[in-house]
Chain A
Amino acid sequence: MTDLIQLENIGVTYHSKKVLDSLTLSIAAGEFIAVCGETGCGKSTMLRLILGAERPTSGRVLIDGRELPRPDRNRGYVPQKYSLFPDKTVLDNITFGPEMEEFGLIGMLTPRYYRRRAELREQAHAYLRQMGLQPGDGAKYPDQLSGGMQQRVAIAQALIMRPKILLMDEAFSALDPATRGGMQRLVRKLWAETGTTILFVTHNISEAIFLGTRVVVLGKDDPAGSSKVMFDLEIPEESREPSGIVGRDEMDRLSALIEGAGLGEKLEIGVA
């Protein structure tokens, strides 16, 4: 597999405080990377660098071998908060991307837009069904949906663009454990179906292990220092049970590694 994302010697400094230093990481197309680490270790910064929403102080971020200075349609984004446009209905949120891409700002004033709009809405309905939402939810505004439903719509909104990379920043952190479990299974299913490269940031190690084909743990040797990659663990698919849960032996191996590095207490062990 070729590397889709390359982080080369990345350093990030905020107000003369080094957050990331000499971070190097390669991600191949089709991988599901779960990035885990304690609060403030720079995992969201890393995601924002890949997204193009932030620039490194030193080093390079390459997407498909090129430095891309700002976010674009090839990198979908699902943040923890403000994931949907509050002024648009669910359907309008989902069709926003294709509409902008196909018609731009001015094209939306043409009659062709209104003819095409019906097709796009039909497509959006299909995504709604795939996300387990009801057709009636399409006319609702985001604040009329539960947190889990909002995140389902946000995923549909990102996936309708068929991005090469989907970046999810603590996307399920605000959800209750039951909803969170359902969302995790949904994302894994979508990953298996679409083959989209996913980078999922979480501070929950169990969630990271459940989701990722690779778990990257960021951390600091010294509390005042900058973060680096502490672990880059492959989770073999064959170690998973049919339900997707990682088998006991593999779990024990990972736990031993994490505990051995003294990270056990720092990483939230929650429901996977």
Chain B
Amino acid sequence: MLRIDASPNRITTWTLSWFLFAAGIALYFYTSHSRHIENPEDKVVPSLTQLAQGTADAFLKPDSEQKDAGPAEGSLPAKFFSSMLWTDTVASSKRFAWSMALLVPAVLLGLHMGMFPIIGTFFLRFILFFDKIIALSVLPILFIAFGIDELSKVMLIVIGVTPTIILDSFNLTKSVPPEQIVKGFTLGAHDFGVTYRIVMKQILPRVLNSIRLNLKSIMLFLFAGEMIASQDGLAFRIALLRRHMGMNVIIPYVLWVALLLFLVDLTMRLLNKKIHPWFREA
């Protein structure tokens, strides 16, 4: 069975790949059930009913503390779009979008560092050093320097993720075979023609993959910022609910975040495939 040349059939593949999910869910409900026998009011491992209630509250009810909370009544979509979860999702998404937008100059910097030795020499050592700084360790400095509003949270992500993306883009640029660059010159391209029309086009799908692999880091820094200093957002809510032991809402929130991240990853993967049909993923 455990042979390196084994080729599991469809049923085996399906069973094996879903087994741990099923086992995890079973273990959860077993634990929940056991705890509820001892204490019917247990909040640590909520029962299915408690989870359903928490999910309904999160997905369909507005934030009770919010002054301009939307309607408590109305159609299901209307309730959802004025719900606590949606409001938090929009707030976090804005920060996430800002962070993603800031990765564009990071990619361009890495590309130019790889292509132009002068730019590479100027930035490389500094960014290598910058990359070693633990972003969370400078959080207090960021809050002092930029205040506790949006800028400090975005800066946290910038410090945490951009050096990695810059260095990835730099390395990918360097990995383009020199023959391609020479070829570009022999075909009449100048420095920027070679940079943008040959090298950038070749590294872009790999850069997108690198960003995909860093999505979790982006979210990690976003959540750290929101948990420490924010008035809204998914992580802010999770931190708030922690104080009230609101596990029945925290768990749906965690799963919602995982789903969102999965969807962003999937969208990026499909987009990458669509705009780079030549790229065969390793």
Contacts and interface: CB of A to CB of B under 8 A. Distances in A.
A100 B187 CA distance: 7
Contacts of A87: 201-202, 276, 278-279
Interface stretch (B116-124, B150-158, B178-186, B211-219): B178-186
B187 A143 contact: no
Please report whether the interface of chain B is mostly helix, strand, loop or mixed according to DSSP. helix
Contacts of A83: 179, 183
Contacts of A71: 182, 185-186
Interface in A134-148: 141-143
Interface residues of A, number: 32
Contacts of A75: 186
B197 A105 contact: yes
Contacts of A105: 190, 192-193, 196-197
Nearest to A78: B183
A82 interface: yes
A142 B179 CA distance: 15
Please report whether the interface of chain A is mostly helix, strand, loop or mixed according to DSSP. loop
A75 B198 CA distance: 18
A79 B186 CA distance: 12
B247 interface: no
Contacts of A82: 177, 179-180, 183
Interface of B: 177-180, 182-190, 192-193, 196-198, 201-202, 276-280
25 contacts: A53-B178, A53-B182, A70-B185, A71-B182, A72-B188, A73-B186, A75-B186, A76-B186, A77-B179, A79-B183, A81-B179, A82-B177, A82-B180, A85-B183, A87-B276, A88-B278, A98-B188, A101-B187, A104-B190, A105-B190, A105-B192, A141-B278, A143-B278, A157-B187, A163-B186
Interface of A: 51-53, 70-73, 75-77, 79, 81-83, 85-88, 96-98, 100-101, 104-105, 141-143, 157-158, 161, 163
Which 3 A-B pairs give the minimum distances between C-beta atoms? A97-B187, A101-B188, A71-B185
